[in-house]
Amino acid sequence: MRIPIIAGNWKMYKTPQEAVAFVNAIKGPLADLSAAERVVCPPYVALPGVAQALEGTEIAVGAQDLHWEDEGAYTSQVSGPMLKGLVKYVIIGHSETREYQGVTNEMVNKKAKAALHHGLHPIIAVGESLAINEAGNTQSFVETQIRAAFDGIPASDLERIVIAYEPIWAIGTGKSASGEQANAIIGNIRATIADLYDDAVAGAMRIQYGGSVKPNNMIEFMSQPHIDGALVGGAALKEDSFVELVRLAIEAKGL
């Protein structure tokens, strides 16, 4: 069985103090919702405080990116050895890093390998633009992203990887894919993993949907058979709504 995973991608929101106050407020309500994996991904500067505040809980912490080199003259960047011990997960290839920081499919692959090398669990994000979607090329575009991201990654590492399918046109727009649309694309992603590896690994791979997920559409996504969780931006920034998303995921999966 694939354990649902609900991750809050906080993007560039919350100061370190606000971040700690947030996790202190949710850790009680989330303690009982252990049928789903719960992850918060604050900005880098909030990671030490959040990690400390969540010590002894089952709520995992994730970073929003990493560089593939261990160290070097890469102003502004953060590496695997710096994150090791602080976080479990790291988001890689989010469309905002692809768009604003020039992250390519090849870099996503290098970042994923670096994360795995340092014992981290990558959340590899893929997804198409509105133009690609409207041209009917979503499936081939996403498949290319997946094949590139997983190039040279051994099957033995796959249990640590989560994939997030986030159509760019649905991020922060209030316009989400329908549950059925998202399930179809995510089913194709699973088929691509089966083609690259085998049915068993593909069947065990957790794949999230992301893009304007809110409490009012969570059940629609989570009741789809291929959708194993959500990567959430805006609705993960409020205590009540993040807790509610986790509760709804558990309810939709009948756990």
Give CA–CA dist 124/93, Å, rounded.
Answer: 6
Per CB under 6 A, does 61 bind ligand 13P?
no
| Beta-sheet pairing, 5-9 with 60-63 | unpaired
Catalytic position from the list 67, 94, 121, 226: 94
Give 126's strand partners: 165
Select 12 or 73, whichever has its Cβ closest to ligand 13P: 12
Residue of 133, 212, 217, 241 interacting with ligand 13P (CB under 6 A): 212
**Applying CB under 6 A, which part among 15-23, 28-36, 46-54, 225-233 lies near ligand 13P?**
225-233
Shortest Å distance, C-beta 55 to ligand 13P? 25
Shortest Å distance, C-beta 43 to ligand 13P? 13
Give CA–CA dist 148/156, Å, rounded.
Answer: 18
Select 60 or 232, whichever has its Cβ closest to ligand 13P: 232
Shortest Å distance, C-beta 58 to ligand 13P? 22
Q: Interface residues for ligand 13P in 88-117 (CB under 6 A)? A: 94
Select 171 or 227, whichever has its Cβ closest to ligand 13P: 171
Sign of the dihedral through C-alpha 3, 231, 151, 203: positive
> Is residue 166 annotated as part of the catalytic site, yes or no?
yes
> Is residue 94 annotated as part of the catalytic site, yes or no?
yes
DSSP secondary structure of 62-76: EES--BSSSSSS-TT
Catalytic position from the list 96, 128, 166, 220: 166
Backbone phi and psi for residue 167, each to the nearest 5 degrees, phi listed first: -65, 125
Give CA–CA dist 106/121, Å, rounded.
Answer: 18
Q: How many residues does the chain have?
A: 255
Per CB under 6 A, does 233 bind ligand 13P?
yes
Per CB under 6 A, does 63 bind ligand 13P?
no
The CA–CA distances, whole Å, from 89 to 45, 59, 123, 143 equal 16, 11, 7, 23
**Applying CB under 6 A, which part among 15-23, 71-79, 135-143, 226-234 lies near ligand 13P?**
226-234
Per CB under 6 A, does 130 bind ligand 13P?
no
At which residue do the structure tokens 């009741």 appear? 223
155-186: burial string, b at 16+ Cβ within 10 Å, e else: eebbeebbbbbbbbbbbeeeebbebebbbebb
Per CB under 6 A, does 9 bind ligand 13P?
yes
Per CB under 6 A, does 222 bind ligand 13P?
no
Select 52 or 178, whichever has its Cβ closest to ligand 13P: 178
Q: Which residues have a Cβ under 8 Å from the Cβ of 169 and sit 6 or more positions away?
A: 128, 129, 130, 133, 175, 211
Kindly list the residues in this chain that would bind ligand 13P in the complex (CB under 6 A). 9, 94, 166, 171-172, 210-213, 231-235
Catalytic residues: 94, 166
